[in-house]
Chain A
Amino acid sequence: MKQKIYQILGFSIITACVVITLFFLASIIYLITVKGFHSISWEFLTSIPRKSMTEGGVAPAILGTFYLVIGSILIALPLGVACAIYLNEYSPTGYMVNIIRMSINNLAGVPSVVFGLFGLAVFVNLFGFGVSILSGSLTLAMLILPSIISASQEALMAVPYSIREASLALGATHWQTIKKTVLPTAMPGIMTGVILSIGRAAGETAPILFTAATFYRRSYPSSILDETMALPYHIYALMTEGTHPDKQVAIAYGCALILLVLVLLVSAFAIIIRNKYRSGYVH
């Protein structure tokens, strides 16, 4: 009898945990959606800011985030996939591989602001790229590299050995096997990792704080060496700088909603295709 009461009590507590958690997270999404919805209009999405950030749209920030995401994916995707191919296809064991694995794991845990410091010291100052889209993309690329590597590795590992053996038995070389059979099979998994990284790169603020972002530009960036506005930084700047806090808050809500929708849609998309793809495999 006593045990039964414990069970009811225990189960109620863990049910309460999940309810509280979902309540918190849902209320964040709900409040931002409701309050941000008023700010969103076609003009908001497509025009540049006017009257020192109190009117107009946020198109340069949306475009800036787009550039930074594309830039960082272009850098991190080939590097990350190559690294995963090496770890999984060429050198499955050994001392050096363990060291690489360890450094990837630790790189994944480095605080994003520390990546920002690295980007500032190396890309902005040492390489002389200045505060620019290029520096920001490189910094963000380092940040998302570990997750692209582990997603790619997981995808490569899920490719059944029989596929490789079949290809090798037909006389294909090691590289031909990887290029023609392993990579195409692993592609959905790799793309999931990439899509998740898009969400991460779009939302990160600390790494671009000193490497790419600026509060206000009169024109759209014209080269990769220009500094740029970006959505997450724009939210921060609207809340902490400027002279008309009341008008800026409404714009910030709009930006937060755009960012939230963007990131949630992107990661939902990635997770749904990953789950589909995972359950479809026979090991």
Chain B
Amino acid sequence: MYNGKEKFIKLIFTVLAFSSLLFLLGIIVVLFKESFPILKNIKIFDFIFGIHWYPTHEPPEYGILPLITASFWVTLGAMIVCIPLGIGSALYINELASPRQKQILKPTIEILAGIPSIVFGFFGMLIVAPFLQNLFNIPTGLCAFTASLVLGIMAIPTVTSLAEDALSFVPKSFKEASYALGANRWQTLVKVIIPASMSGISTSIILGMSRIVGETMTVLMVSGGSAIIPKSIFDPVRPMTSTIAAEMGESAVGSEHYHALFAIGLILFLITLIFNVIAEHISKKHRVKLGLNR
């Protein structure tokens, strides 16, 4: 009797466990299904490389190159902000912070990683944008530069937290061996600890990048929202995520516009999927290299 009950319970858990797989497959299926109809009227080449995004014009034009370009530049700019500050902070926490500082800094950074993106968007819109507008004397503070800056700051805690984890996985013996050979702390950090945790650090950067590309509310509020290919970093832009968020409300269910927005979602999904697969691959190799996976 117990045997039957045990088997039944195991079956329930098995079924529930597969639901996460089901969700992922569900997302893929829904995105493909809902974005496929857009290809009836528009060639895939024209969709991805078209330079005009006029979904409400007559006839409408659906070229998403301006949106992809915007996402690309905003992400690149944000990475320039968050990689040095994020990794630098991780190095500080790992190497320089006293045990007491570390005890406070590490959880603080983790807590800050939880600040909702809407708060960053709000802050960027009300405080950072007007400040930069005055500082650089530009027509609007809501532009690619501001979006990059705010997104970059937003991603720092994520990158720092993950990079510090990677640094702390480096076995103490590596450090001791380097000191024994007469290297000082900085030499040890740069020539031994960073190379040994390089793959973990790169994973943190890729995951940070994945978070920035997929970030919606912040860019929706501070990037300015005009769907043109930017000529300068101070031009207002409209990245992919904010296009979906801003326009889904006004597009009729099942319309061409609706399907075009799902197609943007699909591209976004595939980009972050690639990032995640790369990150996972690198971190697996990393664990093997340090002998943590045996």
Residues of A that sit less than 8 Å from B by CB: 3-4, 6-7, 10-11, 13-18, 20-21, 24-25, 28-29, 31-32, 78-79, 82-83, 85-87, 90-91, 99-100, 102-118, 120-122, 125, 142, 145-146, 149, 173-175, 196, 199-200, 202-206, 209-210, 232, 235-236, 239-240, 249, 252, 256, 259-260, 263-264, 266-268, 271-272, 275
Q: Which of B16, B84, B217 contacts A83 (CB 8 A)?
A: B16
The answer, yes or no, to whether B62 is at the interface (CB within 8 Å) is no
> Whole-angstrom distance from the CB of A176 to the nearest CB of chain B?
9
Q: Is the CB of A271 within 8 A of B118?
A: no
Interface residues in B, total, Cβ within 8 A: 87
Q: Which chain B positions have C-beta within 8 A of A102?
A: 280
Q: Is the CB of B214 within 8 A of A110?
A: yes
Q: Which chain B positions have C-beta within 8 A of A120?
A: 248
Q: Given A82-B17, A100-B20, A14 and B185 touching (CB < 8 A)?
A: no
Q: Which of A14, A111, A236 contacts B95 (CB 8 A)?
A: A14
Residues of B that sit less than 8 Å from A by CB: 2, 5-6, 9-10, 12-14, 16-21, 23-27, 30-31, 34, 84-89, 91-93, 95-96, 105, 107, 110-112, 114-123, 125-127, 153, 156-157, 160, 184-187, 189-190, 207, 210, 213-217, 220-221, 241, 244-245, 248-249, 253, 261-262, 265, 268-269, 272-273, 275-277, 280
Q: Is the CB of A117 within 8 A of B265?
A: yes
Interchain residue pairs with CB less than 8 A apart (16): A17-B85, A21-B85, A21-B157, A79-B19, A85-B13, A86-B14, A90-B13, A106-B277, A110-B272, A113-B265, A117-B244, A120-B248, A122-B26, A200-B114, A205-B117, A210-B248
Q: Is the CB of B5 within 8 A of A175?
A: yes
Q: Is the CB of B115 within 8 A of A113?
A: no
Q: Which chain A positions have C-beta within 8 A of B20?
A: 79, 83, 100, 103-104, 107, 145-146, 149
Q: Which of A7, A107, A175 contacts B185 (CB 8 A)?
A: A7
* Chain A interface, DSSP helix/strand/loop, else mixed: helix
Q: How far is the CA of A99 from the CA of B122 in the complex (A)?
A: 39
Q: Is the CB of A14 within 8 A of B96?
A: yes
Q: Is the CB of B127 within 8 A of A31?
A: yes
Q: Which chain A positions have C-beta within 8 A of B244?
A: 113, 116-117
Q: How far is the CA of A142 from the CA of B20 in the complex (A)?
A: 8
Q: Is the CB of A174 within 8 A of B88?
A: no
Q: Is the CB of B93 within 8 A of A18?
A: yes
Q: Is the CB of B92 within 8 A of A256?
A: no
Q: Which chain A positions have C-beta within 8 A of B110?
A: 267, 271
Q: Which chain B positions have C-beta within 8 A of A259?
A: 116, 118-119
Give the residue name and chain of the A residue nearest to B185 (CB): A7
Q: Is the CB of A17 within 8 A of B27?
A: no
Q: Which of A100, A114, A196 contacts B214 (CB 8 A)?
A: A114
Q: Which of A18, A203, A236 contacts B88 (CB 8 A)?
A: A18
Q: Is the CB of B24 within 8 A of A252?
A: no
Q: Which chain B positions have C-beta within 8 A of A121?
A: 30, 34, 262
